[in-house]
Structure 1
């Protein structure tokens, strides 16, 4: 046993009391948990890092770290909630300022853009509207736009303020037509609408009257140049490169000093874009005539008699459709979506390819019409209008399909037609067969390239086969194909009667068989009933 004096006991007692006071003081300065009430004097100001409890030892360091961590969590939670509230407020303002019913100029969906060369959706020569304004590759056309605007003002003896002020009135309506928010300021947006719109109208009127009649030199590098004009026509049917048609209506009304020129603008647009129509129906004598003398049926046809057209691509699309009362547009959000409205190639397979249909006894004939969608099937004969496929056909079809996929207020007739042709064409052999019957003519490198074009054009598209305008034709063709005796007759025709010599051989064989049968009959008959 070790003896402990009274002095030592007193020292240990004082040390214990001092430690107890130190621990109680540190507990009072420790930060409270979130949500616990604070004393009144501590609610006004939070302790700063310099005011952290100065406690020595390991316990003091742990308490300091916990305090810093809790403050960081509070800061992060505040920033997160602020971000969420800002996004909700942005969505509210966007919903208030958006008019979904006016949208008509869309950005091509990424899933469609991935399928083909991006050039099929991007203008190569001229930008129209805000989407591609200022792109470096398209800046060379800007000085020519200003030349066209100056020529128009000199010809009409008008002031530019007349057009700017008038377009200011349409600015909000024009902005609502674009799917992607336009970040341009008001003055710049109005400038683009006037400059690009007048440039388009100068092209339209130049094709109608002749560019020299409008004051342009016959050797002008843009106005009247065939090569440049073809590239501009191609760019003008790009979905992302459109100007609202009511903007062109207003600008033309100001030029002519005549209001309500909607039908005239549509007619001018159709005449300008006429070379892009993928049909061959004009005779050689017609092609030698000047454009202004052609009384093409489309020129007198207003594609939207009961409603306002949207833009040049919409006008051109409606001119390609059947000249009949169009079916009601598919408003997908007003009804239950059908189960087969999916991007499924198995459900889009509605008819067999051309070679299979030929083997089933179906005949193909060219139908004489300028509307390439007008297809008929009667008495085993499939009549299809002639289709011309060239370099401009690819962007035309891809942009028409993209517009029908994006715009819920239009029918899907172009998509239905192209899906039908995709079913027809599986390989170069199908293309060659259709070409031999005058249904497809192309300027591409080979038949395989044409087959690849149609096989890609309707991939990943939403297509409702039950609402196709060709639904009855699909059923009639399938019913004819499913009859087996059609296959047998066709096989007999192509296998045994594929040449005149085969027919002669077959007749001779039948005749010989008949004579042999008669000889055998009379031999047997004479044996049992000999002559008296």
Structure 2
């Protein structure tokens, strides 16, 4: 840089030096905080603009009936549920035997922490009292919904379905540690309100047991999500799964001392909890941020019917982690094992919000994004959907095969999968597809089949004749 300045002459050099002092000084001294750059990632981020730009996916990131947190608070179309929140919470406060000051201090402390978890520009409109009230109303509403108490509020079935949808939107979340603390609080106070005759053992209920009760509440909610169909299990599977199904991180709760919830609080929010259980499975979360080795091999994408024509079949696998796609070799062909997926009205928003969550979190593995892109590569035409439906892999009641194919096209618009995802599966498919021996046998399976039938028939006649002749000879000897 100094050489370039000297070449321009003294006067110009001194002018640039003075100018450089100004902008260089700014860049060298301005801190990230002064520059408006956050020093850490927002726990509950906004959906990236590139996701919202797609007209086909408009409305998939906004709640239909209930807002949770500040991002969509105050929208006119959500007023009915806001009134319901206030009505239920007011009754809870009236019936509670807890001192008002104690309740106020507890919720305020949690709300103060929760404010830091959202994008700053979205919380400025709320003073401390209004933000605390919002956290109290939203968390109590979630508790009432998850514990199936909303049935007393005479909501329509469609509204209940939409609430479940809205609770798994990226921008409609509460910080999980705040939600858990308040849910424990509601559980205890709810028991007191009910006037139960508590035994001494009940009074000494440990935090571990409380956490396990809450875990069951979340489990039941997740099991009702239509995108994850129930699996048929044998007796032995039910017994073994009772010990192994929960992720190790969740099972480790029982090993913590009473009052410790650090492992339970490791989730950022409810969508994060769902993601880790049904998208990432039992793997360690940090593996999602690991950089994978570069994939140098290139594999084509083949549709369902292209693969079917070369002897690759499709089978539903018995797993609740719906991204867990496997390839199994057979004698002459192969099989893709794909977990069943129900396609309902709520499936598209769920998959898109999971993909947005991966993008905001910087998860290099992008398991959900890679999954929907892989499924899109299989589904080129309605006939591909029909084949997957016939095998029990896609289950839907909302539209035609053409509509389902269109949904996958819309979901994957502008999505960038992890190039390493499903590499073993894609390599196995490519290897099988290019196998000249297997392809030749499959292409000529018609003549082979006819020859086998023909010669089996002749062989059967010959064997029968020989047996009859031997039997006759035996009778003559007698």
Find the aligned partners of 1:170 and 1:410 in 2 and give their Cα distance.
32
Find 1:321's aligned residue among 258, 279, 282: 279
Q: Is the 8 A contact 1:250 1:259 kept in 2?
A: no
Assess, with a 3 A threshold, how the Cα gap between structure 1 residues 361 and 505 changes in structure 2: closer, same or farther.
closer
Of residues 106, 117, 134 in structure 1, which corresponds to 2:57? 117
Inter-CA distance 475–164: structure 2 relative to 1 (3 Å threshold): farther
Give ranges in structure 1 of 5+ residues lacking alignment.
Answer: 1-80, 285-294, 341-346, 512-532
Separation of aligned partners in 2, 1:400 and 1:189: 27
Q: Give the TM-score, by structure 1 length.
A: 0.64
Asked if 1:107 corresponds to 2:58, the answer is: no
Aligned length in residues: 390
| Contact in 1 for aligned 2:385/2:405 (Cα 8 Å) | yes
Distance of 2:412 and 2:224 partners within structure 1: 24
Structure 2 CA distance for partners of 1:89 and 1:163, relative to 1, 3 Å: farther
Distance in 2 separating the partners of 1:353 and 1:338: 27
- Does the aligned pair in 2 maintain the 1:367–1:383 contact within 8 Å? yes
The answer for unaligned runs of 5 or more in structure 2 is 1-21, 189-205, 234-239, 251-262, 459-478
Match of 2:444, SS state, is helix
The aligned counterpart of 1:275 is 224
Q: 1:503 aligns with which of 442, 450, 455?
A: 450
Distance 1:94 1:269, change over 3 A: farther
Say whether the 8 Å CA contact 1:391–1:444 is kept in structure 2. Answer: yes
Q: Does 1:424 align with 2:378?
A: yes
Q: Among 229, 241, 245, which residue is 2:176 paired with? A: 245
Judged with a 3 Å threshold, the aligned counterparts in structure 2 of structure 1 residues 265 and 451 are, in CA distance, closer, same or farther, namely same
Superposed counterparts of 1:25-424, under 5 Å: 92-93=33-34, 98-101=38-41, 103-115=42-54, 116-181=56-121, 182-183=123-124, 184-206=126-148, 211=149, 220-222=153-155, 225-257=156-188, 264-282=213-231, 301=246, 304-305=249-250, 306=263, 308-321=266-279, 323-326=281-284, 328-331=286-289, 351-379=301-329, 380-408=334-362, 411-424=365-378
Q: What secondary structure sits across from 1:503 in the alignment?
A: helix
Q: CA RMSD in A?
A: 3.8
Corresponding residue SS for 1:382: strand
Query: Structure 1 CA distance, aligned partners of 2:368 and 2:242?
Result: 20
| Cα distance, 1:173 vs structure 2 | 2.8
CA shift, 1:227, in A, is: 3.0
Displacement, 1:123? 0.3
The 1:178–1:455 alpha-carbon spacing in structure 2 relative to 1, beyond 3 Å, is: same
1:13 aligns to what?
A: none
Alignment of 1:439 with 2:439, yes or no, is: no
**Rounded Cα–Cα distance in structure 1 between residues aligned with 2:219 and 2:227:** 13
Question: Partner residue of 1:11?
Answer: none
- Distance in 1 (CA, whole Å) between partners of 2:433 and 2:184 is 55
1:465 is paired with a residue whose SS is coil
CA distance in 2, matches of 1:406, 1:430: 32
Question: 1:160 offset after TM fit, Å?
Answer: 4.8
Query: Does structure 2 retain, via aligned residues, the 8 Å contact 1:350–1:423?
Result: no
Q: 1:298 and 1:358 mapped to 2: Cα distance?
A: 38
Q: Deviations over 1:151-201 (max 9, x none)?
A: 333454234543432232234431222235321222211111111111111
Distance 1:496 1:300, change over 3 A: closer
Call closer, same or farther: CA 1:496–1:240 in 2, change over 3 Å. farther
- C-alpha spacing 1:228/1:133, structure 2 compared with 1 (3 Å): same
Asked whether the 8 Å contact 1:270–1:315 carries over to 2, the reply is no
CA gap 1:358/1:430 in 2 versus in 1, 3 angstroms: same
Cα distance between partner residues in 2 of 1:228 and 1:396: 17
Whether the aligned pair in 1 keeps the contact of 2:278 and 2:322 (CA below 8 Å) is yes
Over 3 Å counting, the alpha-carbon distance change for 1:484 and 1:383 in structure 2 is same
Q: Distance in 2 between matches of 1:442 and 1:311?
A: 29
| C-alpha distance after superposition, 1:455-501 (max 9, x if no partner) | 232232233222x2x322222222212212322222223x657xxxx
Structure 1 distance, partners of 2:389, 2:424, is 25
Distance 2:102 2:363 in 1: 34
SS at the partner of 1:396?
helix
Of structures 1 and 2, the one scoring higher in RCO (CA 8 A, sep 6+) is: 2
Q: 1:250 to 1:408 in 2, by over 3 A?
A: same
Give the CA deviation at 1:404.
Answer: 0.8
TM-score by length of 2: 0.71
Contact 1:237–1:313 under 8 Å retained in 2 = yes
Q: Displacement of 1:107 after TM fit? A: 1.3
